[in-house]
Amino acid sequence: MIKAFTQGWKIAFRSWRIATIVYLLQFLLALVLGMMVYSELGSSIGHSLELKKLLADYDHTVLSDLNNIHGGFQKIITTGLPWLVLIWLIASVFISGGLLFAIDRRQYTWALFWAGGARYFFSFLKIGLVFLAIFLLITAAIWIPLAGNFDTIIPALPSEREYAYIIIFVLVLYLLFVLFLWGSATAAKFFKIKENTSIWQSLKKGFGWAWRHFTKVEGLLILFAFAQMGVVAIYWLIEGASGMVSPTLIWVFFFIQQVFVFFRILWRIGVYGGVEALMSPVVDHE
């Protein structure tokens, strides 16, 4: 498991070329929304003296007035974000096809990335949709009753603390389940590549493999989760210590943010690599 973890990171760092493409694609998509925000601010309150309050600190009044009168960020996010998510989900099917293919072949080149993305697009789309559907169903099945029946649950419990504990307990189970689902999805895709099985067979094998190696898969993904949380914590600390409060700091933080985003992309490749390492614990082909 530890070996798979380090192996995953090795693969991630070797895939830096692919990671760069993924990063750029994502950056461009996000830039669309960023520029919408830029021009919205300019055209709505671009000539206001109140703007300087937003530089020094968060200002509830300035932002609320902006949203109330002009729709502000809300409008951009509600109209723009769903489209971006949809485009990215589709792009992501292609990306995972390319990535997994490259990882399977131990050759982290652009050529292999494009080839894999194209070859596995439709089968990965189907596999992805199945897992997305399972994920959404289970999420709804767990959280809707827990939040909606607050009024009946609370009095039925010995105390309020238990409600909090139940929420935390369910949350932990839920996260373990999501990790399991993620492990299964990744394994199913690898089976598709490695054994060229049918969609149905890949799904079955993916679940079967993840179930048989449950502790290893969970252990690996939990390690990755902690790695991510560690970096998030570092980011929060830096942000909390200063934040974008001067023109220079705005760009310093932009740089830090982009490093963070790039790390998250490497992280995802690392997870794929780690799962693959668990599946074929042979050795590095190189």
Partner 1 sequence: MVSGQVPANDCDPYFAKAKSVRNANYDIKLTLDHEAKKITATETLIWINHSPDTIQEMRLYMYLNAFKNTNSTFLGGTTNVFGQTFEDRTAEEWGWIEVTKAVQRGQGDLTEPVPIESGVIKYIQPNDDNEDDQSVLQVPLDQGVMPGDTLFLDMKFTAKMPKIIARTGYADKDYFAFLHWFPQAGVYEKNRAGEWGWNCHQFFRTTEFYSDFGVYDVEMTLADHLIIGASGCKIKDQNNGNGTRTVKYHVEDVIDFAWVCYSEFEEHRDQWNHVEIKAMVPVEHRSLAPRLIQAVKNSLEYLTENVGEYPFTTITIIDPPLHGLRSGFMEYPTLITGGSFWGAPKGFRGVESLIVHEFAHQYFMMMLASNEKEEAWLDEGFVTYYEDRIGINYFGEKHSQQDLFGLHHGNREMSRVEYTSINNLASGATVDQGWNNKTTRSRELVYQKTGTMLVTMERLLGLETMNRLIKTYFERWKFKHPRGEDFIAVALEVVEKEKGAEMKSVIESLLRQSIYEASYCDYALSNAVSRQKRTPMGLFGTTDSMDYQKEELKDGYNNVVRVDRKGGMILPVVIEIIFKDGSNKIIEWDGVANSRTFEFESATKMVSAHIDPEQKIYLDIDLNNNSYTWQPETSVFWKYALKVMFWVQNVLQSVSMFT
Interacting residues with partner 1 between 185 and 244 (CB under 8 A): 185, 239-240, 244
Rule CB under 8 A: say whether 257 interacts with partner 1. Answer: yes
Binding range to partner 1, per CB under 8 A, among 9-17, 109-117, 161-169, 277-285? 161-169
Subset of residues 7 to 36 that bind partner 1, contact rule: CB under 8 A: 26-27, 29-31, 33-35
The least CB distance from residue 117 to partner 1, in Å, is: 12
Residue 175: how many CB atoms within 10 A of its CB?
A: 13
Subset of residues 41 to 70 that bind partner 1, contact rule: CB under 8 A: 41-42, 44-52, 54-55, 57-62, 64-66, 68-69
Contact 207, 188 (CB under 8 A): yes
The sign one gets for the Cα dihedral 232, 234, 237, 243 is negative
Which H or E run includes 197? none
Return the residue of 144, 164, 166, 172 that touches partner 1, per CB under 8 A: 164
Rounded Cα gap, residues 216 and 219, in angstroms: 5
Nearer to partner 1, 47 or 212 (CB): 47
Total residues contacting partner 1 by CB under 8 A comes to: 80
201 three-class SS: helix
Token output for 98: 């390319």
Nearer to partner 1, 247 or 286 (CB): 247
Return the residue of 1, 10, 13, 73 that touches partner 1, per CB under 8 A: 73
Subset of residues 91 to 150 that bind partner 1, contact rule: CB under 8 A: 92-93, 96, 124-125, 128-129, 131-132, 135
The sign one gets for the Cα dihedral 15, 274, 188, 219 is negative
Token output for 118: 């194209």
Residue matched to tokens 């689902």: 181
Residue 184: how many CB atoms within 10 A of its CB?
A: 23
| Interacting residues of 215 by C-beta distance below 8 A, sequence separation 6+ | none
Return the residue of 2, 161, 237, 241 that touches partner 1, per CB under 8 A: 161
The least CB distance from residue 125 to partner 1, in Å, is: 7
Q: Which amino acid is at 276?
A: E
The least CB distance from residue 246 to partner 1, in Å, is: 8
Rounded Cα gap, residues 210 and 178, in angstroms: 12
Binding range to partner 1, per CB under 8 A, among 1-9, 102-110, 191-199, 264-272? 264-272
